Amino acid sequence: MPRYALKVEYDGGRFSGWQRQADQPSVQGAIEAALARLEDGPHTIAAAGRTDAGVHATGQVAHCDLTRNWEPFRLSEALNYHLKPNPVAITACTVVADDWHARFSAIERRYVFRLIARRAPLTFEKGQAWRVPHPLDGAAMQAGADQLLGRHDFTTFRSSICQANSPLRTLDELTISDIARDGYQEFHFHVRARSFLHNQVRSFVGTLERVGAGAWSPDDVGAALAARDRAACGPVCPPDGLYLAGVAYSDDPFA
């Protein structure tokens, strides 16, 4: 029974999240339904990360087991045909070893968050970025972000319903780039770690936005981290601007 790795792109605004749910649309459910059009099921696929409702992906990775030996390009083309009209696309497909696992073989995950600071509402980018109506200080946000790098107890920055056994995580990157736009600001938060806690990235961005707006100082971020108390976190931002941008493996199956 061959195993296939799939690189997946999707607009999360249409879904209740990655994980299959009985009465709500999910990305996992859409792909499994497409697989069932190719081979009798049921099919169960596993992903590198279970994104929440409204969270997008440009580099999600999943794997599936099939009985037929598909040529990877033909499999991706067939899946994309049967995924229509869902906003989901298989952008790469390859055969992997039977013991390769999209989640447990991963050594790093990368997220990007898009934040747009402008007075006017979003039109074309509505649902694709978080808009705030006031200007932000990018340098101050980066100074606050720098205090989060390294290995810490991130209790402050995880959801109260997080199911992880430990709040200890190592944050390898949190850099903020200022994207040139005509008449307003756009910031991209690049976040990289082996694994993340529930709502960790959105907690980071919501807190750092307060720094950019001048309501917090950069040192307040370090104090919130040291508090190890969820109540010390800033507001958790909406999911609109969050993208799972990539998953790394010691031996890249898509190389």
Condensed to tens digits (0 to 9), the pLDDT of residues 187-208 reads: 999 999 999 999 999 999 999 9
What integer is the mean pLDDT of 216-236?
97
Q: Which of 52, 98, 178, 219 is catalytic?
A: 52
- Phi-psi bin for 208: left (phi > 0), alpha (psi -120 to 50), beta? alpha
pLDDT in tens, 19-45: 998 889 999 999 999 999 999 978 999
Q: Domains of the chain by range and CATH?
A: 3-104 (3.30.70.580), 107-246 (3.30.70.660)
The tens digit of pLDDT for each residue in 98-144 reads: 999 999 999 999 999 999 999 999 999 999 999 999 999 999 999 99
What Å distances lie between residue 71 and 3, 54, 60, 97, 168, CA to CA?
12, 32, 21, 15, 41
The partner residues of 136 in beta bridges, in order of sequence, read: none
Predicted pLDDT at 146: 98
131-158 average pLDDT score = 98
Cα dihedral 138, 142, 242, 202, rounded to 10, equals: -120
Whether a cis peptide bond, with omega within 30° of 0, leads into 85 is yes
What the block records as the tokens of 47 is 């992903």
Total-model pTM: 0.95
Q: What is the DSSP secondary structure assignment for residue 13, as one 8-state letter?
A: G
Look at residue 144 in the predicted model and tell me its pLDDT: 98
52 catalytic per annotation: yes
